Amino acid sequence: MNLTKRPRRLRDHEALRAMVQETRVDAADLIQPLFAVHGTNIKREIPKLPGQYHFSVDRLAEEVKELQSLGIRAVLIFGLPEIKDAAASQAFSDEGIVQQAVRAIRSQVPEMLVMTDVCLCQYTDHGHCGMVAGDQILNDESLSVLAKTALSHAKAGAHVVAPSDMMDGRVAAIRETLDAHGFQQVSIMSYSVKYASAFYGPFRQAVASAPQFGDRKTYQMDPANRLEALRESALDIEEGADMLMVKPALAYLDIIREVKNKFSLPLGAYHVSGEYAMVKAAVAAELLDHDKIMVEILTSIKRAGADVILTYFAKDMARLLQQKGQ
């Protein structure tokens, strides 16, 4: 048999494989989530998220400087308040934990892009992402609180606010409020496609944000739905989002590709806590090779269409890339 077409020719040498590689993950593609807590001199590993930590504000800058030295250029800040209440008052306080963290990073690591998660679940005593009445999560009544929260983050110095609550109309409410207060330059990365996923478990333990009643299925999306992701993305673009996001990532690679094909805005994908923790557990059980599976997963997310990846693997991946001289 005379084979004139042999795809294996381009796989015959390591340099040739690298030359024709279609998808590459760079450190600049990665966003590292960070967890800020009240107190001093705290760097406490999160039990369900090995390699991830709660940081007091005075310890954040050293971590961010290390991330920067590895080539990571953006962080996403989550906060754990000392006090939770029905009004989520610590979410929009000028002295809230996220606000303090943003100011510290901006002053000590000015080159780092600072993004903030805008949600209420960590700050409410009921653990839902909006205001409640009885067993109902109130949509319209939540919008002003979310907008106040985003505004407080912008005042503290956030470059990008990222609403993750999944209330209808929240992007428009945040954009209007930011613009009215002179923060036209602050970008919105919308969690436009956020599914009601079982992969969030370790995160909810890390920030003590599990709902105290019911679940989040009345506002987060049904994992079975594809077309709804396109409708949600289109609405957020219409309301003023600058970037879109799909969350989770690994179980929703098809959705990442659908959104990327349909819309021209930059697209993020959040490789979430459960996806990360599964790998760490499998590696601890000696079932998987840590670096190989990490690279394969992050490459698959980038290949699916994500422009940026929010991942707890950001530091590990950036360190590996640096070791390889990439």
Beta-carbon count within 10 A of 190 CB: 30
The annotation status of 89 as a binding-site residue, yes or no, is no
Is residue 226 a known part of a binding site? no
Q: Is 119 within any annotated ligand binding site?
A: yes
Report the C-alpha gap between 28 and 1 in whole angstroms: 47
Judging by beta carbons within 10 Å of its beta carbon (0-12, 13-18, 19+), is residue 155 exposed, middle or buried? middle
- Does 121 count as an annotated binding residue? yes
DSSP 8-state assignment for residue 199: G
Q: Residue 56 and residue 79: Cα distance in Å, rounded?
A: 10
Determine the length of the chain: 326
Asked whether residue 129 is marked as a ligand-binding residue, the answer is yes
Question: Annotated catalytic sites, by residue?
Answer: 194, 247
CA atoms within 13 A on the CB side of 296: 7
Does 95 count as an annotated binding residue? Answer: no
Cis status of the peptide bond prior to 223, with omega within 30 of 0: no
Residue positions in the annotated binding site for Mg(2+)? Answer: 232
Residue positions in the annotated binding site? Answer: 119, 121, 129, 204, 216, 232, 273, 312
Residue positions in the annotated binding site for 5-aminolevulinate? Answer: 204, 216, 273, 312
Residue positions in the annotated binding site for Zn(2+)? Answer: 119, 121, 129
